Structure formats: C-alpha cells, structure tokens
C-alpha cells in the first residue's frame, strides 16, 4: 500500500480522535512508525493492522471502519494533486468513476511500484451502472463503497450502492450496482478553493 493511504488513516484519526488515540492505535497495531511517507510503499499488512487496531479502539466492525475511511479518503486525496487528476475526468459522478483507471495510470508514472485497483463501468439504460472492482488486495470492498459515496458527495450527487458479487475463489473481482438518486451537480472545487 502506498504511504498516502496510511497517512490518510493517521490524519483521519488525529482529526477525529486526537494524538493519544493515534498513539494507542499504533501500539495496538504493533507499529513504531507514527507517520508515513506519502510517496513510499509499505507492506499491506501495516494497513490491515491499522484497521484492526481502529476496530479495537472504536468497537466498530472492519467493514464500517473501511467504509467510513473510504468516504473520508475522497476528500483527503482531493486536497492533494490527486483531486486535480480526478477533476480531469469530468464533473459528474459517472465521468469521474470512469476516469479512475486513467487517474491511476497517471499516478503510476511517478509511483511505478504502486499496485492500484482497476475499475470497469457498465452503464445501464435506466441511468444506473455496474462497477467491476479488481484488486490484488482482499477485503477492501467496504472501502470502495465509502469511496463511491465520497465521490458522489464531491460531485453533488447522491447514490445507492449494493454489492452484488464478492471476490472469492469462484469470482476474481467484486461487483457493485450503483443507482444515482440525485444528479443535481454543484460546482466543482477549484484549486483556489472557489
């Protein structure tokens, strides 16, 4: 996992629970590092240990922790240059969803060690879509659900997400059905914050 994800987790905990909570979570996870280099690569086990420690700290199941963080991640990453990359795809939820692979391709230019997920979008005639999520990492589907809601919030839309297939020995990826409930777009943020 690249360090920006772990640093996003750290920032989320600091913002919502404070430095003592972060210290406690790191101790529970058995980590000595209290900060992460955004552009460095870390063993995925560190991220999973952090999630487990946050579950212990909050009493929430991993699916809830991942979903909450996924929604937060969109805002956190959007404040960096990744937000600019997302906005290149367009202003709507569907346009940005379709642009995720292109964004990851651009990121790979500066972070060739990154193992990003892949997303395929199939639009349906009724305005809904099917999202195919491919990843080498297991158990992150709840984070994707949070990401989808965070992305919709950024574009001023609201959505309903249902996971219709789970990655398993029989299936090589997760599948989500997404229904757009409200398509009233708000103006996208600019770099100047206007």
Provide the b/e sequence for 82-120 (b: ≥16 CB within 10 Å): bbebbbebeebbbebbbbbbebbebbeeebeeeebbebe
More confidently predicted of 185 and 4: 4
Task: Identify the pLDDT of residue 189.
Answer: 45
Question: Is residue 177 within 8 Å of residue 161, measured between CB atoms?
Answer: yes
Taking each helix axis from N to C end, the angle separating 3-17 and 19-29, rounded to the nearest 10 degrees, works out to: 130
Question: Is residue 130 within 8 Å of residue 175, measured between CB atoms?
Answer: yes
pLDDT above 90 covers a percentage of the chain that reads 54
- Mean pLDDT across the chain: 86
Which of 137, 155, 167, 139 has its CA nearest to residue 55? 139
Which band of pLDDT confidence, cut at 50, 70 and 90, is reported for residue 92?
A: confident
Domain 71-182 has CATH 3.90.1520.10: yes
Residue 33 pLDDT > 80, yes or no? Answer: no
Residue 125 pLDDT > 70, yes or no? Answer: yes
More confidently predicted of 179 and 103: 179
| Domain locations along the chain | 3-59, 71-182
Give per-residue pLDDT as tens, 126-184.
888 999 999 999 999 999 999 999 999 988 999 999 999 998 888 899 999 999 987 65
Question: Is residue 129 within 8 Å of residue 152, measured between CB atoms?
Answer: no
Task: Identify the pLDDT of residue 141.
Answer: 95
- The total number of residues shown for the chain amounts to 194
Tokens at 166, concatenated: 């789970």
CA 57, 59, 62 angle in degrees (round to 5)? 95
pTM of the model: 0.86
Neighbours of 138 (CB within 10 A): 11
């Amino acid at each position: 996992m690249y360090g920006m994800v772990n640093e996003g987790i750290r920032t989320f905990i600091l913002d919502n629970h404070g430095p003592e909570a972060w210290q406690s979570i790191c101790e529970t996870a058995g980590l000595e590092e209290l900060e992460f280099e955004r552009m460095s690569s870390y063993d995925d086990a560190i991220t999973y240990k952090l999630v487990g420690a946050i579950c212990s700290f909050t009493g929430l199941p991993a699916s809830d922790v991942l979903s909450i963080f996924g929604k937060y991640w969109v805002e956190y990453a959007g404040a960096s240059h990744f937000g600019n990359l997302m906005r290149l795809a367009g202003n709507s939820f569907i346009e940005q969803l379709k642009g995720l692979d292109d964004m990851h391709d651009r990121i790979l230019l500066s972070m060739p060690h990154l193992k990003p997920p892949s997303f395929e979008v199939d639009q349906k005639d009724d305005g809904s879509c099917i999202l195919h999520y491919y990843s080498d990492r297991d158990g992150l589907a709840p984070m994707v659900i949070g990401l989808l809601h965070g992305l919709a919030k950024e574009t001023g839309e609201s959505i309903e997400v249902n996971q219709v297939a789970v990655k398993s020995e029989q299936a090589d990826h997760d599948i989500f059905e997404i229904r757009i409930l409200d398509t009233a777009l708000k103006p996208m943020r600019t770099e100047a914050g206007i």
